[in-house]
Amino acid sequence: MEMRESKIINQGLEDEMAMWGYRPCLWKMVLVGIGAVCSGGLLLLLLYWLPEWGVKTTCTHTSLRDARTLLLRSTDEFRQWFRAQVHVMLAPGKRPFDSVDLQSTAQLPNGDGECTLAAIHEERYGVFPHIQPVQIHYFTLHSTKYYWNDVMHNFEIYKGLEDVKVSCASIHCDHSAGLSKPLQDYRRLFFEENEIAVRVPSILKLLIKEVLNPFYIFQLFSVILWSAEDYYYYATAIVFMSVISIATSLYTIKKQYVMLHNMVAAHSIVRVSVCRGTKDVEQAMSTELVPGDVIVIPANGMILPCDAVLVHGTCIVNESMLTGECVPVTKTSLPNSGEDGASTYSMEEHKRHTLFCGTHVIQTRFYTGELVKAVVVRTGFSTEKGQLVRSILYPKPTDFKLYRDAYLFLLCLVGVAGIGFIYTIILSIMNQVPAKTIIIESLDIITITVPPALPAAMTAGIVYAQRRLKRVGIFCISPQRINMCGQLNLVCFDKTGTLTEDGLDLWGIQRVEDGSFSPPEVEAAKENLVDTPFVSCMATCHSLTKIEGELSGDPLDLKMFSATGWILEEATEEETALHNPIMPTVVRPPKHVLPETNQNIRLTQNLELSALSSYEIGIVRQFPFSSALQRMSVVVRRLGEKHMGAYLKGAPEVVVGLCKEETVPQSFTETLEAYTRQGFRVIALAHRQLESKLSWHKVQSLNRDLIETNMEFLGLIIMQNKLKEETAGVLEDLRQANIRTLMVTGDNMLTAISVARDCGMIRSHERVIIADAVPPKDIQPASVTWHYTENPAHNTNNHNQVVEIKLEEGGYEAQPAQLDQSYHFAMSGRAFAVITEHFPHLLQKLVLRATVFARMAPDQKTQLVEVLQSVDYTVGMCGDGANDCGALKRAHSGISLSELEASVASPFTSSTSNISCVPNLIREGRAALITSFCVFKFMALYSIIQYLSVTLLYSLLSNLGDFQFLFIDIAIILIIAFTMSLNPAWKELVCRRPPSSLISGPLLFSVLTQILTCMTFQVLAFLLVRQQSWYEIWTPLSDACNVSHAGLSYSLNGTSPHDHKNIRNYENTTLFYVSSFQYLAVAIIFSKGRPFRQPSYKNWPFMLSCVGLYIFLFLIMLRPVPAIDRFLEVL
């Protein structure tokens, strides 16, 4: 029944969830209330920890339409449960973009819009009194609202303008005038205020949430129990430790909330100019914006408070907050005609026209009399910035085998405690012990077996590792992931800015003359090249702009433009205002490089200027670089000429496809491969003269596809992208440590393969097989082809057949001799997409041997990480933040080399901009992981040793004393547990990884062996002391252990306050000393050093503690000190 009624929300997305509907049930609630009273509130706590049972025990199942409470479960491997309350609001329409007659509501009741909107939020009616309101059911989860849809019979999210599948042309026609005030108010009912509200919880709220943790509830239970036994000192010590732990935790959580709040709130609420109709512009707060509003972007720029699409003008934007790339990006207005205009608007596809929330518009360019306008697309948490903040506020739980095994181990300890619990009850009943004592002592055995200090001790190693990482410039926002770094067996690297330097150097140019390549030239700024289309293309085909007098833009564009030596001049605002069209950006060569024929003629100043101006080129229109198209182009006009021209640059294979075949040299493929094999980055240039009938205004509305066709191929620019000094050494270290490395880049395939060879990712004797895939076309099905990069033309079919057969048949371990093991697969983003969709059965097999992934889009990088995780790799991702955010967040350990705001999505951020941080992080992760194992085993043995001591003493109706517990738990256990975690990481990466599971043969064997050894010695000591000639069995009336001892006298009736619990007896003293030495012995045995941590003898606090405690114990045992004996209640 439940499964039939369940629905899926966010289908196909990261936060996909199944959902069931419930309504309150009175008789169930009464029963739960009675159970809560009878259990002293423990039942309510249990239902708080288990939302699934909390709903099922108080509600009955119903349809989603009638539900008042929803039970949701994530569909990922974590299967997390959530509960949400369904609310009802009243609105004039059912959906935000429905056509509703709101004309008569132009004046809101009482004329107070703000007050009325607040009332709507609370009461859900009253703003639109003339319209019969409809009821809308909704619920909120993780800062996202879901509304009921009667057609779909499911809840849905309203993200923004994209929901109505509007075309680009329609945005210009139907949405560029702005919204009326009533329509804005109506939409705000659904989208609420435009604010990414990170509420910083109060200390009290955080405290309650922290204290309700099962661990602290167990500690509270332990403290109450110990107080009932008059163990006040130890109870006080545990309370003191808990208070410190809670205070530290609250401080850390509060600090993170405040930091995130400050980051988000810095520019989240600003005043904006909003268009009302075609001409009316009014000032409003950014919180009032809704999808469909039209805002004016001021000339001096602003911080965007929403996601908006540009419909008029051009903006230069710094998107470092989102991408981690501080290079200014030029945003142009959305196309409104042709195929581009007819296409459905998508933020992903039209990102070059979209201004994202939180990004900084540096400056705008506009036409005289027209404003730079943008249509609001998304607001609040639906924006790109909002999604980033949500991912930080509601992260997925860390899935790590160590933690799962730790819980299983704790359950085993609880089972052992259960045995002791039953044993204590039976033994006490047989000895006719009072009922109160039976209850207290039987419960006490549980608190002994499950140590309350375990979580604090386990955290210590991670905290120390975090501090050591900070010292080497690696900052961590998710400390639990440090342990996961110790298990990394594969690391993906971005190329540009990560493996190689950020900047590119111009190696040379190779122009085309008369249909063939001329010899390569080193400089483009020669006098004889000034008037060539090639240099003109280099000087104009870019998106550079001047910001505060300095050229700014993409590093590649900057390098290319500076190589020409030309000068860029932009019109000022005052000059723009004097002209109807926007004054174009002008580029010109410096005077000293003009041809001598012009420079030697001594003419008048006017003629000289005229000669100079003939080389000036105005950039009339830009078509910005698109990663999907892999090209950019500009329309230009040389001063004094009637014809306009178009220049194009981009990926060579793309540019060639847009050029006339006769202009492309026959040796193009061989020349390109020669450069890319050497690791050069190659860019192709092309030119075309446009028809004379094209006017400036026509050009502004032309589709780029009409411009970028029938081009003439001009030649190649060869850029050199040097490896960073540290790259090769680090990758060799990782290879020696048996950690696989991959390259995931947006660059050319052959360039990426060459860089992979240069840095040692692919070794010189290893071959590379390129996997290429073609999507289905007409009647042709999708297909995969294979070829070796070294000889793609020779004997291709044979190679294809061998590799394809093995892929179809399965495992790579069974490769035939003719295809040796020394090979790697490489594939492009296009091939990855086709194989993912049409050959999913091949994908997992391919990634097992693939090393280079080229031309990968940002979302494909994330998909690749997920595929690698699905074949049981523990994946690390290292990138510079630009376009890597999704992959950095999805990987088990994401390491960002950028310290900009985009890195907040990454668990780790390095202040050094090279990959030397990766082995450092893995070494510290391995050390922290081994430390966690050591501490866990030590704490488990500690609880078992104490459990054995207490169980043996219970047979005498005795126990350890209050101060004996205190000495063991504080002086021995806590000091040892916290100091044994201080071993630094080993200085080298070794080829084997630390174990990831506690439930493994060697680990269990070591623990069980120690348990048996300790048990044997305790039982032997317990039995041997009873065989001594001076031994006398203790009874309440005997004086066996109460005779004068060390100058002290005691009462003979055995009822003195020091001895009413039978603490001072021979067995107690014997087991106290034996167990104390066992704690220290176990600590030394389990404190593992090499090969993952420095040896324990280099951890001087640990060694000092162990030696000091050994000396102290030997002294008080062999040379008793009366004051200490009295304090510890030993003989």
Mean pLDDT, range 1059-1071, rounded to an integer: 78
956-970 pLDDT per residue, tens? 877 888 788 888 888
The CA–CA distances, whole Å, from 77 to 19, 35, 399, 847, 850 equal 16, 33, 9, 21, 26
User: In this structure, which amino acid lies at residue 969?
Assistant: D
The CA–CA distances, whole Å, from 118 to 95, 233, 904 equal 20, 54, 33
Instruction: Provide φ and ψ at 147, rounded to 5°.
Output: -110, 145
- Confidence band, pLDDT 50/70/90 cuts, at residue 901: low
Mean pLDDT, range 20-40, rounded to an integer: 90
**From 185, 293, 307, 494, the catalytic residue:** 494
Mutual angle of helices 401-430 and 917-954, in 10-degree steps: 10
**Do residues 848 and 739 touch, judged by C-beta distance below 8 A?**
no
Q: Give 572 or 634, the one with higher predicted confidence.
A: 634
Mean pLDDT, range 515-519, rounded to an integer: 84
3-state helix, strand and coil shares in percent for the chain, rounded to the nearest 5: 45, 20, 35
- Confidence band, pLDDT 50/70/90 cuts, at residue 932: confident
**Do residues 468 and 985 touch, judged by C-beta distance below 8 A?**
yes
Say whether 494 is catalytic: yes
Mean pLDDT, range 132-150, rounded to an integer: 88
Distance CA 446, CA 435 (A): 18
Instruction: Provide φ and ψ at 1050, rounded to 5°.
Output: -130, 160
Mean pLDDT, range 334-359, rounded to an integer: 82
Q: What is the predicted pLDDT for the residue at 59?
A: 92
Q: What is the predicted pLDDT for the residue at 1075?
A: 93
- The region that residue 565 occupies, defined by phi over 0 for left and psi between -120 and 50 for alpha, beta otherwise, is left
Whether omega before 1091 lies within 30 degrees of 0, making that bond cis, reads yes
Instruction: Provide φ and ψ at 363, rounded to 5°.
Output: -155, 165
pLDDT over 50 at 603, yes or no: no
> What is the dihedral sign for C-alpha 476, 481, 485, 489?
negative
Burial (CB count within 10 angstroms: exposed 0-12, middle 13-18, buried 19+), residue 402: buried
82-126 pLDDT per residue, tens? 999 999 988 888 888 877 766 544 433 333 333 334 444 444 444
Q: What is the predicted pLDDT for the residue at 597?
A: 44
Give the three-class secondary structure for 551: strand
Q: What is the predicted pLDDT for the residue at 1108?
A: 93
740-744 and 850-854 strand pairing: parallel
pLDDT over 50 at 795, yes or no: no
Neighbours of 40 (CB within 10 A): 9
- Confidence band, pLDDT 50/70/90 cuts, at residue 802: very low
Q: What is the predicted pLDDT for the residue at 34?
A: 92
Distance CA 749, CA 751 (A): 5
Q: What is the predicted pLDDT for the residue at 114?
A: 37
Tokens representing 96 are 């935000």
- Confidence band, pLDDT 50/70/90 cuts, at residue 147: very high
Distance CA 525, CA 78 (A): 60
Q: Which of 218-232, 401-415, 446-460, 1039-1053 has the lowest mean pLDDT?
A: 1039-1053
pLDDT over 90 at 866, yes or no: no
Rg (CA), the chain: 37
Distance CA 634, CA 621 (A): 6
Q: What is the predicted pLDDT for the residue at 699?
A: 78
Mean pLDDT, range 233-249, rounded to an integer: 77
Which residue in 329, 266, 298 sits closest to 901, CA to CA?
A: 266
> What is the dihedral sign for C-alpha 527, 529, 532, 535?
negative
pLDDT over 90 at 724, yes or no: no
